[in-house]
Amino acid sequence: MEKRILGIILSILGIIGLIYAGVVFMNASGGTRNIKAIILFGILGGLFFVSGISLVRSTKDKET
């Protein structure tokens, strides 16, 4: 059960990171995009999202 909760938390953090990277990308004007922030939050968000989803999928439910 703890692994599933951790997986859900990681997935939510990943979604937040990906959304933030998209917001930073869209709010930039002209050539003043902060490429480092976009890459950092995009990679971390994707990593958290993928690891969270795989953790949720690989965890089996216990039957009582």
**DSSP states along 41-52:** HHHHHHHHHHHH
Would you say residue 41 lies in a domain? Answer: yes
pLDDT tens across the length of the chain (64 residues): 788 899 999 999 999 999 999 998 888 776 777 888 889 999 999 999 999 999 988 887 776 5
- What gap in Å lies between CA 5 and CA 41, rounded to an integer? 22
Identify whether the C-beta of residue 6 lies closer than 8 Å to the C-beta of residue 33.
no
Would you say residue 51 lies in a domain? Answer: yes
Would you say residue 47 lies in a domain? Answer: yes
Q: For residue 61, what is the DSSP state?
A: P
The total of structural domains in the chain comes to 1
Distances (CA, A) of 13 to 28, 30, 40, 44, 55: 23, 29, 14, 9, 14
Task: Name the residue range of residue 36's domain.
Answer: 2-58
pTM higher than 0.85 for the full model? no
Would you say residue 64 lies in a domain? Answer: no
Would you say residue 30 lies in a domain? Answer: yes
